[in-house]
Structure 1
Amino acid sequence: MKVYLDDERETPEGWTRVYWPDDAIELLRTGQVTEISLDHDLGDDNRGTGYDVVKWIEEQVATNHFVPPKIKVHSANISARQKMELGIASIHRLACR
């Protein structure tokens, strides 16, 4: 399953759309997500951002031997994108240990 986390953009064909980090994490927990594409700004920071999903994946890889899916960032927020990409790099390092 391919998961697309975004509040505004059109969902690419073949992807499952979610609007909030907790929805993305719920799908990740199933172990059936092969790819995830993340926006950062989702319209309500109190409900979370795409970075929250990156942090969750990183923690699961580090503590529970979670096998991460392919992770992409499609956020237009440059500083948030950089932060998310650093988290993804950490996930790759942890997953390769």
Structure 2
Amino acid sequence: MTDKINLYVDDLRDCPEGFVVARTYYEAIHILETRKVAILTLDHDLGEDVDGVELPNGYDLVKYFCEHGLRADKIYIHTDNPVGRQNMYETLLAAQRREFIAEDIEIYHYSITVNKHSGE
């Protein structure tokens, strides 16, 4: 497929219009490895399993993205977790400096979408 998609990675929030949603780390990896992505927007906290253990999060996804040289034209970070936001942002920039990911990827410390959770 040559058409680019916009990918919204978040376990709870409503998916903004014009985006495809990935609710888990694994869904996001599958999409990133099989589709071309124009805009990638990331949450940090991606939920817990039935025992209350944190599932792989947005920072884990950023590390995988960088280790495997994945691509999106633009990356935004929409998480409300300030430490997670900073870790993801700094890791992406460092990976870019070290040429693990393409230098032309635009990386933003803020959201391009409105965070909305209707509970549906």
TM-score w.r.t. length of structure 2: 0.69
Greater helix content: 1
Percent of aligned pairs sharing the same letter: 36
> In 2, are the aligned partners of 1:37 and 1:72 still within 8 Å (CA)?
yes
2:33 is equivalent to residue 40 of structure 1: no
Residue 31 of structure 1: how far off its partner (Å): 4.1
Following TM superposition, where does structure 1 have runs of at least 4 consecutive aligned residues deviating by more than 3 angstroms? none
Instruction: Name which of 53, 73, 81 aligns with 2:77.
Output: 73
**Equivalent residue of 2:85, what SS?**
helix
In structure 2, the residue matched to 1:6 is 10
Unaligned runs of 5+ in 2: 104-120
Distance 1:26 1:11 in 2: 18
TM-score w.r.t. length of structure 1: 0.84
Unaligned runs of 5+ in 1: none
**Greater C-alpha radius of gyration:** 2
RMSD of aligned C-alpha atoms? 1.5
In structure 1, the residue matched to 2:33 is 29
2:92 is equivalent to residue 88 of structure 1: yes
Alpha-carbon displacement from aligned partner over 1:18-73 (angstroms, at most 9, x marks no partner):
11011001011114122211100111254310111100111012xxxx4x212111
